[in-house]
Amino acid sequence: MRVNLLDFDANTLAGFCAEIGEKPFRARQLLRWIHRSGEADFAGMSDLAKEMRDKLSATAVIEPPRVIGDHTAADGTRKWLLSVGAGNGIETVFIPETSRGTLCISSQVGCALACTFCATGRQGFNRNLTVAEIIGQLWWANKALAEEPDDESVTESGEIAYSRKGVRYASCSERGRAISNVVMMGMGEPLANFENVVTALDLMLDDNAYGLSRRRVTVSTSGLVPAMDRLRERCPVALAVSLHAPNDALRDQLVPINKKYPISELLAACQRYLRSAPRDFITFEYVMLDGVNDSVAHARELVQRVRHTPCKFNLIPFNPFPDSGYQRSSPEAVRLFRDVLMQAGLVTTVRKTRGDDIAAACGQLAGQVLDKTRRASRRMMEAAG
């Protein structure tokens, strides 16, 4: 059976090269062909000897998940549905902005953590994604976006500037790469699939592969404290934490993992993480749910709760999905909540809703999940009485 080279980072690829009788430096060449150039055909790797290309064809493949859906929203947000076999599909989202292009990557088919305001959590869990299925999302997106034509403009100094999908390239060396940032915020809890996610992160950071900065790669977690400590030791990238409540009683309802790792333990883990983090703050994500967690009193309680943790807040207006049971907070409620945090000296932003018309906004990703947790079935039985 041929191995999928998308599953390999630099070290395992070097080991594979040794197994087929090739020198370690060939691994670097392969990384560049596979990830920089997006080449999936060994015959096209022109600086490899024909004998090596023949050996690769006989023993290996480069096989990302298959694209089965591709939708672009009115605001330029693009969402891909990728098949990962057995009737399961994951979703990946590209968000173009003037100063950057962000790719939101999934780490699991569904999610086992069952956060009540998240479409992925509501639909149950099937399995972890492999390294090839995780990094394959970035591989596909790079390839798809590279096919878009460049827009040219002239700067005030007379130089030609290039952009694609609204994302401007800072230098000629960045042409052809619209993705400047990656966030592990798609379907699933990344730290529940630790080894595969970290191997994919290694590839994102590898200069022979995608060459992204640690500051431009973010892992979002609902609060798996032991795995946060492991990430700090193994591959510290930027960290975002799904907080969503100022106290344990409310967070237990919204984010059930809080019953195992309460807020005090979570914040202690955040402080430990900052010792190795590429940024000097933790980003706390806070979805704004009308009448649930969005009052001024909640905001004041939140200020007290995080006063010893260097952080910034990203307030996320709730993005509705069918039968969620929640409503989006009013703009006035969001403004008042934000003002309390900012008056306390906390950097606070309100996330702009993107891709809502193609169900690509935060919390809306659903994909296709054959639920092994039977969560959807149980919910239907409960609703039936």
List all residues 6 or more positions away from 54 whose beta carbon is below 8 Å from its beta carbon: none
Q: pLDDT grade, residue 356 (50/70/90)?
A: confident
Average pLDDT over residues 102-119: 96
pLDDT over 90 at 212, yes or no = yes
Q: Residue 99: helix, strand or coil by DSSP?
A: coil
Domains of the chain: 3-61 (1.10.150.530), 66-383 (3.20.20.70)
Least confident of 96-105, 163-172, 267-276, 329-338: 163-172
Q: What is the DSSP letter of 286?
A: E
Residue showing tokens 């798809």: 144
pLDDT over 90 at 262, yes or no = yes
pLDDT at 374: 84
Give the whole-number percent of the chain exceeding pLDDT 90. Answer: 81
Over residues 5-53, the pLDDT tens digits come to 999 999 999 999 999 999 999 999 999 999 999 999 999 999 999 999 9
pLDDT at 171: 40
Active site members = 91, 362
Average pLDDT over residues 218-241: 98
Give the whole-number percent of the chain exceeding pLDDT 70. Answer: 90
Q: 296-305 and 331-343 are packed helices; what angle lies between their axes, rounded to 10 degrees?
A: 30
Cβ atoms within 10 Å, residue 114: 19
Distance CA 129, CA 107 (A): 6
pLDDT over 90 at 62, yes or no = yes
Q: pLDDT grade, residue 172 (50/70/90)?
A: very low
Over residues 112-159, the pLDDT tens digits come to 999 999 999 988 999 999 999 999 999 999 999 998 655 655 555 555
Distance CA 242, CA 220 (A): 7
Q: 194-205 and 225-234 are packed helices; what angle lies between their axes, rounded to 10 degrees?
A: 30
pLDDT at 174: 43
Over residues 80-99, the pLDDT tens digits come to 999 999 999 999 999 999 88
Own/partner pairs for 66-71, CB < 8 Å, 24+ apart?
Answer: 67/140, 67/144, 70/144, 71/358, 71/360
Q: What is the DSSP letter of 35?
A: I
Average pLDDT over residues 296-303: 98
Please tell me whether the overall predicted TM-score, pTM, comes out greater than 0.95 for this model.
no
